[in-house]
């Protein structure tokens, strides 16, 4: 980050930390080497609370290695990608991730993408990777450990009534923007909205956020990438279940 982008990031993290009463748990020190941070989504609209929550937690961890955030291509197609680049965002892709790790940076990935980001209210406490396992294969090929990062609460920043899988297919955005979901939501200033809140600025509800950085994970001898990925997802779901077992919506 540049000096100005770091100041902006700190200001945003300070605001979200207070507004969303954010709590961080670092279950084990982050390894002193490039790692692949694998995170879950809550609601991943233009204002992505999970990314900010990660930033708060990473800063509190004391780890100073730069983090490259793999970001969906729609950010550049909508013209906002270049504004995110000073904050470490890069177009999501295997080669981008490999190059970043080889350069000594950490990499942050949300394997569930828009499927995890735009899941319905009833699924808000579920880690949905939609069968995607490429992140585990990437980590093995790069020789980087995986550090799972689990955040709860962001899925309560708006109410998602329907994930909009049908709408994404019907409108052609799956082909044009690689978006598999266009959710129907209820938010403060837009009310009931079909398909657009994920792409428009919105006022998130003051939902309490909790983020846990789990201990680093590595593949077992001869473990298939698919099994490794499922083991990571299972560890994340166990932590999300722990965080939300007695949770009250919004209040925490």
Domain-wise residue ranges, the chain: 3-15+25-157+206-244
pLDDT given at position 78: 66
pLDDT digits (tens, 9 = 90+) for 12-36: 999 999 999 999 999 999 999 999 9
Q: What is the pTM of this model?
A: 0.94
The half-sphere exposure of 132 on its side-chain side, counting CA atoms within 13 A, is: 17
pLDDT digits (tens, 9 = 90+) for 174-219: 888 788 888 999 988 888 888 776 667 788 999 999 999 999 999 9
Please check whether residue 101 is in contact with residue 62, taking contact to mean a CB–CB distance below 8 angstroms: no
- Maximum distance among all Cα pairs of the chain, rounded to whole angstroms: 52
pLDDT given at position 221: 94
**By C-alpha distance, which of 74, 48, 44, 149 is closest to 106?**
149
Residues forming beta bridges with residue 149, ordered by sequence position: 39, 213
Distance (Å, whole) CA 222 – CA 218 = 12
pLDDT given at position 198: 64
Mean pLDDT, the chain, rounded, equals 91
Distance (Å, whole) CA 152 – CA 242 = 10
**By C-alpha distance, which of 150, 152, 151, 156 is closest to 206?**
156
pLDDT digits (tens, 9 = 90+) for 77-123: 766 677 777 778 888 888 999 999 999 999 999 999 999 999 999 99
Distance (Å, whole) CA 141 – CA 124 = 32
The three-point CA angle 225-229-233 to 5° equals 170
């Amino acid at each position: 980050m540049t000096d100005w982008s770091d100041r902006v990031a700190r200001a945003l993290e300070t605001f979200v930390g207070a507004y969303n009463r954010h709590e961080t748990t670092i279950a084990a020190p982050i390894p002193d080497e490039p790692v692949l941070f694998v995170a879950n989504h809550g609601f991943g609209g233009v204002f992505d609370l999970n990314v900010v929550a990660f930033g708060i937690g990473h800063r509190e961890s004391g780890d100073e290695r730069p983090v490259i955030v793999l970001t969906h291509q729609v950010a550049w197609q909508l013209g906002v990608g270049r504004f995110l680049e000073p904050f470490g965002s890069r177009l999501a892709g295997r080669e981008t991730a490999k190059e970043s790790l080889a350069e000594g940076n950490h990499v942050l990935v949300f394997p569930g993408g828009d499927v995890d980001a735009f899941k319905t209210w009833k699924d808000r406490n579920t880690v949905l990777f939609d069968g995607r396992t490429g992140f585990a294969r990437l980590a093995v090929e790069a020789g980087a450990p995986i550090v799972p990062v689990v955040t709860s609460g962001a899925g309560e920043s708006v109410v998602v009534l329907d994930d909009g899988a049908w709408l994404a297919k019907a409108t052609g955005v799956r082909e044009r923007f690689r978006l598999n979901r266009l959710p129907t939501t209820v938010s403060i200033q837009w009310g009931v909205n079909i398909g657009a809140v994920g792409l428009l600025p919105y006022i998130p509800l003051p939902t309490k956020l909790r983020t846990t950085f789990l201990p680093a994970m590595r593949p077992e001898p001869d473990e298939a990438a698919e099994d490794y990925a499922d083991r990571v997802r299972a560890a994340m779901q166990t932590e999300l279940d722990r965080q939300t077992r007695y949770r009250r919506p919004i209040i925490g």
